[in-house]
Amino acid sequence: MTTPKIPNSVPTSFGNSAASRPGSLGPARLAGVAAFLALVFVAVPLGIAASGRWDFYYTLTSVALLSIASAGVWLTFYIGRINIGQGAYALAGGYVSAVLITQVGMSFWLTLPLAGLACAGLAVLIGLPILRLRGVYFAMVTLVLTEVARLSALALPVTNGAKGITSIPLPGELSVLGLTIIPDFATLEDPKLAFYLVAVALMCLSYLALWRIVNSRLGHLCRSLQQNEELAASIGVNTAHLRVLAYAISSFFGGVAGAMFVSISQSIYPSSFQVADSVNFMLNCFLGGLGYVFGPMLGTLLLYFGWDLLFTTGQYQMLIYSSAMIVLMLVLPNGLLSLFDRKGGGK
């Protein structure tokens, strides 16, 4: 098992290479961003309203939050590490938010960043020793993190053990200087649309932050790690510092996604996030494309709906799913977004 390598010229948008004007937003990219925002904030709500399938809001909200957690996993791939433990941070973030809301009486909107910061701090403590390991050993250690988090949630009194934390109130009003930014969800007749809009807004902000990181000096230094850590260290790059920083940011995304899931389900249990979820976060990155910032977003969307479509195949669901994933990784090792490069004449 070897750590996958991301191409030297890392594309950071659909069909555009970072080598051609890193960090810039040309007309094509601006048009793509505008089209995406119009799709998620206008076209999707109008389509759901016309069809009357309000349950789609919950489905798409879940996809948005799963893609946020997957974005964090992608960042650890970007430094040349395989992360199979993101479910642990999603679970930890969910419990941090739930405890602060139910036992401290804190507003959900304050617990959202605090859950991410708590997970980032936890990642620093865990990452300091294990990020010194080679990629394959780091992957094996992260594989057990989700189960450790689940067992900790079962054992700690503050998490209420196997009973979990239930009856978590809906998010209250968010106001700034007396101006209501987000209304009290409890006053809404059906908060599904509100949850969808908040989740998609968080997803957009997360990927904007990830894109900015990749196209910054920090991102270029991180790229040097997944190319050759020894060479990077030899020219003065603090490789240990960068690995821990990237892992902390990755875990922050996981904590935020977990906290948002708690607000939607209004409950959390030790089994809310399991090892299978951590594996799926990783597969989302592979499916969309490890060389693309927006790869996890596309991978999450296709994997989520693809799994549901295969449900009709009954007992052959897992066989077809596994076979399709293997074929895709063999035929498109750089993910589905690499098709855009091929059409554009890229490598």
Q: Give me the domain span that covers residue 132.
A: 55-275
Q: What is the pLDDT of residue 23?
A: 47
Q: Is the pLDDT of residue 9 over 60?
A: no
**Interior CA angle at 209 toward 204 and 210, to 5°?**
100
Q: Looking at the domain assignment, is residue 112 inside a domain?
A: yes
Whole-structure pTM value:
0.88
**How distant is the alpha carbon of residue 150 from its chain centre?**
19
Q: What is the pLDDT of residue 18?
A: 40
Q: Looking at the domain assignment, is residue 111 inside a domain?
A: yes
Return the structure tokens found at 46. Answer: 């109008």
Q: Looking at the domain assignment, is residue 18 inside a domain?
A: no
Number of compact structural domains in the chain: 1
**CA quadruple 106, 263, 43, 27: dihedral sign:** positive
Q: What is the pLDDT of residue 25?
A: 57
Q: Looking at the domain assignment, is residue 72 inside a domain?
A: yes
Q: Looking at the domain assignment, is residue 210 inside a domain?
A: yes
Q: Looking at the domain assignment, is residue 174 inside a domain?
A: yes
User: How far is the C-alpha of 131 from the C-alpha of 24, rounded, in Å?
Assistant: 32
Residue whose tokens read 């004449």: 345
Q: Looking at the domain assignment, is residue 302 inside a domain?
A: no
Q: What digits encode the pLDDT tens for the residues 205-260?
A: 999 999 999 999 988 888 888 777 777 778 788 888 889 999 999 999 999 999 99
Q: What is the pLDDT of residue 271?
A: 93
Return the structure tokens found at 264. Answer: 């939607």
- 8 A C-beta contact, residue 232 and residue 224: yes
Consecutive H or E run containing 12: strand 11-13
* Residue 22: strand, helix, or coil: coil
Q: What is the pLDDT of residue 192?
A: 93
Residue whose tokens read 């449900």: 311
Q: What is the pLDDT of residue 343?
A: 53
What is the average pLDDT across 287-291? 90
Residue whose tokens read 């939050």: 65
Strand partners, 176: 179
Q: What is the pLDDT of residue 26?
A: 65
Dihedral in degrees, nearest 10, Cα atoms 98, 104, 109, 115: -50
Q: Looking at the domain assignment, is residue 216 inside a domain?
A: yes
- C-alpha distances in angstroms, 105 versus 71, 169, 180, 231? 30, 10, 20, 50
> What does the mean pLDDT of the chain come to?
86
Q: What is the pLDDT of residue 342?
A: 59
Q: What digits encode the pLDDT tens for the residues 18-60?
A: 433 344 556 777 888 889 889 999 999 999 999 988 889 999 9
